[in-house]
Amino acid sequence: MKIGTQNQAFFPENILEKFTYMKKMGFEAFEIDGKLLVEHVDEVKAAIRETGLPVSTACGGYDGWIGDFIEERRLNGLQEIERILEALAEVGGKGIVVPAAWGMFTYRLPPMVSPRSKEGDFKAVSESLLYLDKVAGRTGTKVYLEPLNRYQDHMINLLAEARHYIESNQLQNVEIIADFYHMNIEEDGISEALHEQRDKIGHIHVADNHRYQPGSGALDFRKHFDQLKKDGYDGYLVFECRVRGEDPEAEYQKALKHLQNCLA
């Protein structure tokens, strides 16, 4: 397993400097914003050549969720995700992380009555995934379907629910991304869920139980990494977290060392 990171506010803005900074810090890959990649693909290629730091995946950078309530936004999102997958293929990235939606609706807050039926949710997300499955097949990439916690999305909260979409639609290029923060809220057991869905998990996000940097909270990363090792997971573990502390750079470096120790 290799450890990558998304961008952070204290990283340099210049793309080459950003890649150099991450490489020096000890990260082994960059999960890039999709819009940044599409708009600066040549600069990203040059940074990869210069530093040897790969782009593992993309996350975000498009407008319109694959399960959007508004059809025009859903279709727009699909077109933008398609362009991101094409750009990922150019730079050697594995694929893009996509949730059904984020912040669009939750049953846990008022009005607690969805404007669309569960059958409608399944239809919209399935149509999007079927479209993107073909795009990913054409570009040699993957779509990583992300379950979010119940407060951020109402459609897909468990790894098993993501699996249901993959199997029901016979998707060949869609896999599950397991996010430790969301799993800590939703799954009965993180290690157990990782094991049960081991054949469909293609990517992983790491943050501690409170969404801050790994090692600053309550999660037992060594236990869960040991389970991943037993099940033969050899993909990326990507930091997707907020950072707290007086010195964010030092705290981030400390978190990386913590995960490296948990992998040892």
pLDDT of residue 130: 98
pLDDT of residue 55: 98
Whether pTM > 0.75 for this model: the answer is yes
204 closest CA partner among 128, 138, 263? 263
Looking at 31, 175, 187, 240, which residue is catalytic? 240
The percent of residues above 70 in pLDDT, for the chain, comes to: 100
Report the C-alpha gap between 9 and 241 in whole angstroms: 12
Q: At 254, is the pLDDT very low, low, confident or very high (cuts 50, 70, 90)? A: very high
What is the chain's mean pLDDT, rounded?
A: 98
Looking at 146, 175, 186, 187, which residue is catalytic? 146
Give tens-digit pLDDT for 141-162.
Answer: 999 999 999 999 999 999 999 9
Q: At 163, is the pLDDT very low, low, confident or very high (cuts 50, 70, 90)? A: very high
Task: Provide the H-helix boundaries in the chain.
Answer: 15-25, 34-39, 41-51, 71-91, 118-139, 159-168, 180-186, 190-196, 221-230, 248-263
Give tens-digit pLDDT for 72-127.
Answer: 999 999 999 999 999 999 999 999 999 999 999 999 999 999 999 999 999 999 99
Distance of CA 190 to the CA centre of its chain: 17
pLDDT of residue 1: 97
The percent of residues above 90 in pLDDT, for the chain, comes to: 100
Residue type, 35: K
Distance of CA 264 to the CA centre of its chain: 24
Query: What domains lie within the chain, and their CATH numbers?
Result: 2-263 (3.20.20.150)
pLDDT of residue 135: 98
Report the C-alpha gap between 244 and 132 in whole angstroms: 36
Segment 153-176 mean pLDDT: 98
Segment 172-180 mean pLDDT: 98
146 an active-site residue?
A: yes
Give tens-digit pLDDT for 187-217.
Answer: 999 999 999 999 999 999 999 999 999 999 9
Give tens-digit pLDDT for 14-31.
Answer: 999 999 999 999 999 999
Distance of CA 233 to the CA centre of its chain: 16
pLDDT of residue 211: 98
Q: At 47, is the pLDDT very low, low, confident or very high (cuts 50, 70, 90)? A: very high
Q: At 230, is the pLDDT very low, low, confident or very high (cuts 50, 70, 90)? A: very high
196 an active-site residue?
A: no
